[in-house]
């Protein structure tokens, strides 16, 4: 199957993209930074309706600045930012950022599941979390102007040296991603959920999984180029899924260390979107949840011996 973004490249140019044995080389000490996705922090609060990009129902949730302050208070180094209602792009302690997930213009578009800014069918959550696409673009440009690393999702369509989240919807294999790392200097995010899932488009199978559905060969191949791990259990439905999430994060971190990576960002992503709306948490509940998720990240690091 051909990667959507890699036309004219011959797969035989790459070889030895997977390993069955540990990477060779001395074990380095990895400097870890802990972050949390700002959407995961959302809780019931208050913003002034008249401020740019707040609107309804954004006024009912705590502002981005307060979410980041809470993350810092519990021990995170910073956040992974995206344009949420009321954000400006000037918030402090942003370690990396991504575009709004699928911004829409109004709730009616979302209720009809119309196509959002990301080209996907929208839900009411897309309207709740982010302002309209124009405001989202302004926030993104403000973040870019500060030279904060931006998360992309499509290799081959991004500036050289970009940070790209590995995901099956590109139809790219580990060999394809390895090609872009070498040719364009791309560095990668391993997301424990997206790495293990199938493509959203019906009829396609993930090129990131081998014949028995194992994701480890992809991690083995890309380990020297991984700079961020999303410990993402948004799709986990039972304790076994959660175990697989932490196993995946542990494995990716260990392999990156064996590959000689000296710095890594671990990002906690836990889904506040219940019944298509952000879960209604109080400040105290959100703080307890963030504290628990940070402890999980630190346990992964400890178990990996990093």
> pLDDT tens across 132-158, in order?
999 999 999 999 999 999 999 999 889
Of the candidates 170, 179, 135, which has an alpha carbon nearest to the alpha carbon of residue 14? 179
Distance CA 14, CA 178 (A): 8
Establish how many alpha carbons lie within 13 A of residue 75's alpha carbon, considering only the half-sphere containing its beta carbon.
13
Task: Kindly state the average pLDDT of the residues 197-201.
Answer: 92
Is the pLDDT score of 11 beyond 80?
A: no
Percent of the chain with pLDDT over 90: 75
Distance CA 291, CA 198 (A): 31
Domain regions of the chain by residue span: 31-98+149-304, 101-147
What is the structure's pLDDT at 238?
A: 77
For residue 260, what are the contacts with CB-CB under 8 A and spacing of at least 6?
Answer: 25, 26, 28, 224
Decide: helix, strand or coil at residue 150: strand
DSSP state of 199: P
Is the pLDDT score of 296 beyond 60?
A: yes
Query: What confidence tens digit (pLDDT) does each residue in 274-285 have?
Result: 434 555 688 999
Whether residue 251 contacts residue 19, with contact meaning beta carbons closer than 8 Å, is answered with no
Of the candidates 128, 139, 136, 130, which has an alpha carbon nearest to the alpha carbon of residue 60? 128
Is the pLDDT score of 79 beyond 90?
A: yes
- Name the average pLDDT for the chain: 89
Quickly state the pLDDT bin for 164 (edges 50, 70, 90): very high
DSSP 39-72: GGG--B----TTSTTTHHHHTTB--HHHHHHHHH
What is the structure's pLDDT at 235?
A: 73
For residue 240, what are the contacts with CB-CB under 8 A and spacing of at least 6?
Answer: none
Query: What confidence tens digit (pLDDT) does each residue in 209-251 have?
Result: 999 999 999 999 999 999 999 999 887 777 778 899 999 999 9
What is the structure's pLDDT at 206?
A: 97
Is the pLDDT score of 119 beyond 80?
A: yes
Query: What confidence tens digit (pLDDT) does each residue in 16-69 have?
Result: 444 444 444 456 789 999 999 999 999 989 999 988 899 988 998 999 999 999
Respond yes or no on whether the N-terminal peptide bond of residue 57 is cis (omega within 30° of 0).
Answer: yes
What is the structure's pLDDT at 280?
A: 66
Decide: helix, strand or coil at residue 106: coil
What is the structure's pLDDT at 5?
A: 54
Q: Model's pTM, two decimal places?
A: 0.91
What is the structure's pLDDT at 1?
A: 44
What is the structure's pLDDT at 239?
A: 74
Which CATH fold would you assign to the domain 31-98+149-304?
TIM Barrel (3.20.20)
Task: Kindly state the average pLDDT of the residues 66-78.
Answer: 98
Distance CA 195, CA 13 (A): 24
């Amino acid at each position: 199957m051909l990667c959507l973004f890699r036309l004219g490249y011959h797969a035989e140019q790459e070889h030895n993209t997977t390993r069955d044995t540990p990477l060779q080389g001395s074990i380095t000490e990895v400097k870890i930074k802990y972050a949390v996705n700002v959407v995961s922090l959302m809780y019931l609060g208050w913003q002034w309706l008249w401020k740019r990009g707040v609107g309804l129902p954004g006024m009912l949730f705590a502002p981005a600045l307060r979410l980041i302050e809470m993350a810092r208070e519990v021990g995170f180094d910073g956040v992974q930012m995206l344009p949420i209602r009321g954000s400006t792009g000037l918030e402090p302690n942003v370690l990396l950022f991504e575009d709004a997930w699928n911004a829409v213009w109004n709730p009616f578009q979302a209720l009809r599941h119309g196509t959002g800014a990301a080209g996907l069918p929208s839900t009411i959550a897309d309207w709740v979390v982010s302002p309209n696409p124009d405001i989202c673009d302004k926030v993104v440009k403000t973040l870019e102007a500060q030279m904060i690393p931006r998360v992309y999702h499509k290799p081959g369509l991004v500036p050289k040296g970009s940070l790209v989240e590995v995901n099956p919807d590109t139809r790219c294999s580990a060999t394809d991603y390895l090609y872009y790392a070498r040719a364009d200097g791309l560095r990668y995010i391993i997301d424990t959920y997206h790495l293990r899932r199938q493509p959203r488009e019906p009829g396609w199978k993930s090129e990131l999984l081998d014949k028995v559905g194992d994701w480890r060969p992809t991690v083995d191949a890309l380990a020297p180029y991984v700079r961020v791990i999303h410990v993402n259990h948004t799709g986990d439905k039972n304790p076994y899924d959660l175990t697989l999430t932490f196993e995946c994060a542990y494995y990716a971190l260990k392999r990156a260390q064996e590959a000689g990576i000296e710095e890594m960002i671990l990002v906690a992503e836990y889904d506040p979107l219940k019944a298509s709306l952000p879960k209604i948490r109080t400040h105290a509940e959100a703080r307890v949840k963030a504290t628990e998720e940070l402890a999980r990240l630190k346990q992964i690091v400890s178990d990996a011996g990093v």
